[in-house]
Structure 1
Amino acid sequence: MLVEKISTKKVSETVAEEIEKLIERGTFQAGEKLPSVRELCELFGVGRSAVRDALTTLSGKGIVYVKQGEGTYICEFDSSKLFNQHLLLPSSKDIIELFQVRKILETGIAESSAIHRSEQDLRKMGECIFNPSVIEWESDYHFHLAMAESTGNEMLIQFMQFISETTKKSMIDFHQYIKKYPDTVKKIEKQHLEIYEAIKKRDSTKAHSMMRDHLNFVEEELLQSRILQQSL
């Protein structure tokens, strides 16, 4: 098995990412038992604490689970396969259910961000919006994650990380799709800016409202793009 040895900072996060990649590639199958902590240490060239922390992260994201006295197993439900990567966009049912969750979660995140964000958090969010060198989907992805991180609530952050990782493939495809519609791109950029300004002004009510309007708009665009795809 060929894998790269880990030698960078945030070692446990990198180990978690590498294990996820191995699961996505099919090296580790859903339902299978992962190698032991010792074997994973040898595989990645890292210490036991880094592997344990990585497994804790993956467990929190619902990717693995621990059987007491037996070891760590990969969950039967593989979040990376929630959306079919061979399709441009997920099904209409997937979109509607996803946005039901996002509207509950992210409107609250935006509201909490306006109350708890620091100047450093604000700069991080601003970099996602005002940096022209960042690819559109990456800007979108990191803006929403930065907002969650600014709440300081670890459970909210983990929920947001799970949703973001689950929807990353469809987000990339969606941004490829809307490139054909400059007005839609500008509208989304404007909505991100409005959310950012509300958080900057610590206006939690407006941040909540702007996030709700943004998610409603993106949901409608996704559903419309799905209809257009099916008509081709």
Structure 2
Amino acid sequence: MSDFGPLTRQPSLATRVSDELLEAIASGRFRAGERLPSEREMSERFGVSRTVIREAIRTLYAKGVLEVSEGRGTQIATVSASRVTEALEVYLRGAQSQDLLRPEHIAEVRETLETRLVELACARATDDDLDAISAAHERMAAARDADTAAVHDAEFHRLLARSTHNALMLTLIESINATMKAIRSTSLSTEGRLPIALAEHAAVLDAVRARDPEAARRAMRRHLDGSERYYDAATEAPA
């Protein structure tokens, strides 16, 4: 009996069909807006029942990969960046609520992403990009409370990500921003933090304008370290 190992559960037929369809979409064999073959045709192609095909389609529909419209049947959905951002935001918020994602975890990811994205911004940001970032910085400086400043703080970082002209970088930063509202407000409400944060932002922007990636990276790291330090001080302070 010692020669026998545990049995592994094989994926269901519906799962295998949905995986095959996902691969076909990812590889470009099916394109956004294109209709899927009929249930009968897919049933014959895959050698499975129509019930299996329906289950696979329901799975992909639930994931937002397929959409059903009257008169056009089932077709490949156009997956917008906003939909991806919303899905990732839901996941991150859920992870936070279950204490699976703590502020220090977000800080670790931000350091990895944002110290790299400022390097890319140095190489790719246009004059219009830089003007938009500067305007967000000015709005943050004019804010009269921490919550408003936090909104413009998030926009400053979002516009930096946009200036990389990397859609995935922007999507990731937008998703992280959505989870950081309370963190930013708490940090910026700490006495003395707002003017320091503004000076740190100015240093990042100056380095990007100068097309100096090493200086931009150092400035961003100082800013992120400062944000984390003030947040920790605010949350550890006695009531």
Report if TM-score (shorter chain) is over 0.5: yes
> In the alignment, which residue of structure 1 is the partner of 2:116?
108
CA separation of 1:223 and 1:173: change in aligned 2, threshold 3 A: closer
Q: TM-score, normalised by structure 2?
A: 0.60
> In the alignment, which residue of structure 1 is the partner of 2:93?
80
Q: What does 1:16-27 correspond to in 2, within 5 Å? A: none
Gaps of 5+ in 2: 1-61
Partner residue of 2:105 out of 97, 114, 122: 97
The number of aligned residues is 169
Distance in 2 (CA, whole Å) between partners of 1:218 and 1:61 is: 24
Task: Say whether 1:139 aligns with 2:152.
Answer: yes
Identity among equivalent positions (%) equals 17
Q: Which has the larger radius of gyration?
A: 2
Task: Say whether 1:61 aligns with 2:85.
Answer: yes
Which stretch has the larger CA shift, 157-166 or 127-136? 127-136
Q: CA RMSD in A?
A: 3.3
Distance in 1 (CA, whole Å) between partners of 2:235 and 2:130 is: 34
Shift of 1:172: 3.3
Distance in 2 (CA, whole Å) between partners of 1:34 and 1:205 is: 41
CA contact (8 A) 2:186 2:234 kept: no
CA contact (8 A) 1:137 1:171 kept: yes
> In the alignment, which residue of structure 2 is the partner of 1:160?
173
Q: Deviations for 1:112-169, whole angstroms, at most 9, x for unmatched residues?
A: 1111110000000010112355531121010000000001111111111111112234
Task: Say whether 1:151 aligns with 2:160.
Answer: no
Q: Which amino acid aligns with 2:155?
A: H
Gaps of 5+ in 1: 1-32, 42-48, 65-74, 85-89
Q: Which amino acid aligns with 1:61?
A: T
Task: Say whether 1:210 aligns with 2:219.
Answer: yes
Shift of 1:83: 4.0
Task: Say whether 1:225 aligns with 2:238.
Answer: no
Q: TM-score, normalised by structure 1?
A: 0.62
Relative contact order, higher structure (CA 8 A, sep 6+): 1
CA separation of 1:173 and 1:227: change in aligned 2, threshold 3 A: closer
